[in-house]
Structure 1
């Protein structure tokens, strides 16, 4: 009898364990929170604990599923809608002071009479001079509610006494197109930094303007474009591809396919097109690049893109926060998945740049050999393209190692380049304007004085900034470009001058221009037997 009772208890014990093992995960999560609330030694902030739990759950999925707090959602919405309430200026922190370095000619600051070079000392009664504030902190003070005025105290070099301005905040467009201009008589250039709600409208307007100026060929710059709204990418593709052309298709976890096609309402469906990409070109910008490459519509120049082929769906929680959950994979029109592997976890996934740099892939051609399983054929000219880890360019351009060097990052973050450029403009503004009445004259003829470069490098070295030797010509050339770019932005009203100066020194930009200026070269890249590009010596790991 006792033996039977023991056996019965034994089986009951395992039945209880089995029941516990099969516990509803939702109830388990609630129980865990209740145990923490009742037993933890200190008072518990329930929201923080739940947020941490949600983040931990999502971290076990893929690198791009994430939790976004309600505060972050508001900031993202501002970026995606492409506008904010402000006064229409750009500024720089120089020697713990805030100086206006650019003014939107159509904005409220310009109408109020503010000028480039003005030093802002007080915002709404709060001193910002000598406070060690960061850019974001000053920006929060200047931005605010639309229709609400902000009061500024200004020191102007030409005035003996401080000035006071009351500027009404207005809706300021935060444009996704950072530059749009004619490079030559028939070649245009558009730089797109993000895909937002205003992107299609901006692109349509930019193309119309450039075409009116004589554009028949275009450089579309997607370098460092991390993506954005997928609908915006479809809209931009529509500018370049005829009606009913597939931009991409998506596949859900149940195998459901959705195909996304162009509408045929674009502005530039036939002119020659070069797309610039790099290792930071990702997501929606890869969708666009993949579609243009698959339809043989553009020559792609640069370096292999980031490799994000997962589509996130925003799922709102009741408090305004959002779970961005990967809901589908996308494929280019030829059937390519460009998602790079992520089985080793997030840390390994986001260290991909360092591996590319260490392997030599970013600095020289000949370091990638895609296996046949990743081979695909373009839809018009039947060229070979590859998936499995980003968009591979038709023409490789090595990375400018100076731009990614530690010394330049330290130098730029120190503010010494901006300060040197600012001082040069403040001391010689009128003489510079007299000599260079417009940007074109400045860009062609102005050369940064070697003494100014020496001062910047010596100043950085004194403050512990380890820089290359003063005789390092690469370093000097890089600093000269950055100083000239900053000065251009401070001298001339408008936008895009900084990028235009940098483009003149960019190998990707000049290569794109050379391709567009040689019709045979352009046609050869898009033919079934393109010009030699990147040798293949190392296999891309799946």
Structure 2
């Protein structure tokens, strides 16, 4: 049975607007899970030759030859394929060539580009930060620069979106991007030429020792090609610093390469037991993965954080650690994605991600939640259903009736058939959410203010240590007034009551974003950001208060 944290016991005022948020999250997560659908690395599966469908080909031929208007038969074929796959499970998918390439770059070790993290604010593309060691940093691009034009393409106005920016700034290594930059303090546009290069992608967002000097914190956002090596580098650094116990944060992690995930699980689990196995119609797709070596953290209390955004490979890690009584799982029930996709590369560069089996964790339970073939709306809308019956706010509302009970190695009761149910429940706190806050976010007002403030006060802030900053710096009323003013310039109507409701959260986010801009960690890490936000994170508070229990698991 779940135990409630102190936060659940206090009254939380959740508005109807806030309760609907899981539906928005589900739409975002759907895309993330498709990116994270890879199973055993990036190897293509070559199956039996599929018999050609003469009927489909015949119809396309007639359309191409005789239809009254000109038709793009390629896009028509793509549409037909996607509609056909909708009749299968929710995770079998077809990705046209351009989307397949973009999705692959999210998991593989980098892509070719100019190396900036950008932000769209008021129909303009701003540089949040040039990536460390990247080509933009080398030529002098700075945080806060506005990219007005790139290779003759205007990057301002209503037409600006992420796809346009990717298409303009990404490209073959060694090619040039001529950019016109507007920089604060300069009347004229500045000209920069950046030569595209390999830009590494990172998946471990944080790895640092907390204030007590014994608790490590590692956050993994997805399981990509480099995740295991990034994780091991962080783990070794924390052990060197004296870490005795660890919080592994998998919240919002949609999955990725399962091989990288089980390698990480293996670092915590003793012996040579099964970590995950698959079972499908074709025996050739059945596989068992075992723990293979002595891990680097097989002793010491371990807590894993999950929520409804944790899916696929992240559920495998948390589920295996729970089944072996190696970790205490803290948070909310995970997404429930237990279907295995094989990536099949097609001749035109497109990709079919075909569900070939289900995977099972050591206790024998499947974590796949129920679905009705062809009903994607209900499947991804299930998170909204959880909110409606109160599951995000009360442990007693968690519905496990769709899955039977199993037992861990030492006899604890766990459930299958709908995600990983945590040992310690942490309710969603939406008391800070308001429409005013959402408008500030959707117009990037908060992030843009933090970037601008960090640039204007860099010399002053750099005189402080990050620890002193976390302890002493305050986002004051003058700064909040400027945020309000910036919002009004974008026609965001100020609402005093909603501002009061969201004030502390806005202050926290601004403080964290300033910290990330000033105190740089090794490539890929945002330790300074998490050192701020984790101070008031209810998941972290719950984890810290249950380490004694985590340390007794398996004994």
Pairwise same-fold verdict (TM > 0.5): yes
Structure 1 residues 110, 391: CA separation in 2 closer, same or farther (over 3 Å shift)? same
Residues 442-485 of structure 1: CA deviation (Å, up to 9, x unaligned)? 22211111243344346547856577644754411111122112
Find out whether 1:341 has 2:361 as its counterpart.
no
Find out whether 1:225 has 2:253 as its counterpart.
yes
Q: What is aligned with 1:354? A: 384
Find out whether 1:206 has 2:237 as its counterpart.
no
Q: RCO higher in 1 or 2 (8 Å CA, sep ≥ 6)? A: 2
Asked if the contact 1:238/1:266 (under 8 Å) is kept, the reply is: yes
Deviation of 1:35 (Å): 4.4
Q: What is aligned with 2:107? A: 80
Find out whether 1:502 has 2:530 as its counterpart.
no
Farther-moved stretch of structure 1 (424-433 vs 156-165): 156-165
Q: What is aligned with 2:477? A: 450
Q: What is aligned with 1:331? A: 360
Q: What is aligned with 1:367? A: 397
3-state SS, counterpart of residue 406 of structure 2: strand
**Distance between the aligned counterparts of 2:489 and 2:459, measured in 1?**
32
Structure 1 residues 34, 421: CA separation in 2 closer, same or farther (over 3 Å shift)? same
Alignment of 1:12-161 (within 5 A): 26-37=53-64, 39-124=66-151, 126-128=153-155, 133-157=160-184
Farther-moved stretch of structure 1 (198-207 vs 262-271): 262-271
Residues 199-257 of structure 1: CA deviation (Å, up to 9, x unaligned)? 11111222112211222211111111001112221222122223422111110125674
Q: Which one has a bigger Cα radius of gyration?
A: 1
Match of 2:198 among 167, 171, 177: 171
Q: What is aligned with 1:216? A: 244
Asked if the contact 1:82/1:176 (under 8 Å) is kept, the reply is: no
Structure 1 residues 463, 47: CA separation in 2 closer, same or farther (over 3 Å shift)? same
Q: What is aligned with 2:224? A: 196
Q: What is aligned with 1:488? A: 515
**Distance between the aligned counterparts of 1:403 and 1:69, measured in 2?**
40
TM-score normalised per structure 1: 0.84
**Distance between the aligned counterparts of 2:193 and 2:370, measured in 1?**
54
**Distance between the aligned counterparts of 1:93 and 1:140, measured in 2?**
15
Match of 1:438 among 460, 465, 468: 465
**Distance between the aligned counterparts of 1:414 and 1:478, measured in 2?**
17
Structure 1 residues 460, 358: CA separation in 2 closer, same or farther (over 3 Å shift)? farther
Residues 307-344 of structure 1: CA deviation (Å, up to 9, x unaligned)? 01110111222212111111001111001111111127
Q: What is aligned with 2:7? A: none
Alignment of 1:298-337 (within 5 A): 298-337=327-366
Structure 1 residues 165, 503: CA separation in 2 closer, same or farther (over 3 Å shift)? same
**Distance between the aligned counterparts of 1:325 and 1:348, measured in 2?**
21
**Distance between the aligned counterparts of 2:291 and 2:495, measured in 1?**
50
Structure 1 residues 459, 87: CA separation in 2 closer, same or farther (over 3 Å shift)? closer
Asked if the contact 1:95/1:419 (under 8 Å) is kept, the reply is: no
Q: What is aligned with 2:440? A: 411
Structure 1 residues 462, 102: CA separation in 2 closer, same or farther (over 3 Å shift)? closer
Residues 349-374 of structure 1: CA deviation (Å, up to 9, x unaligned)? 11011111111100122112534961
Asked if the contact 2:302/2:550 (under 8 Å) is kept, the reply is: no
Runs of 5+ unmatched residues, structure 1: 1-23, 529-542
Match of 2:214 among 181, 186, 190: 186
Runs of 5+ unmatched residues, structure 2: 1-50
3-state SS, counterpart of residue 94 of structure 2: strand
Asked if the contact 2:403/2:417 (under 8 Å) is kept, the reply is: no
TM-score normalised per structure 2: 0.82
Find out whether 1:248 has 2:270 as its counterpart.
no
3-state SS, counterpart of residue 366 of structure 1: helix
The count of corresponding residues between Structure 1 and Structure 2 is 498
Asked if the contact 2:127/2:144 (under 8 Å) is kept, the reply is: yes
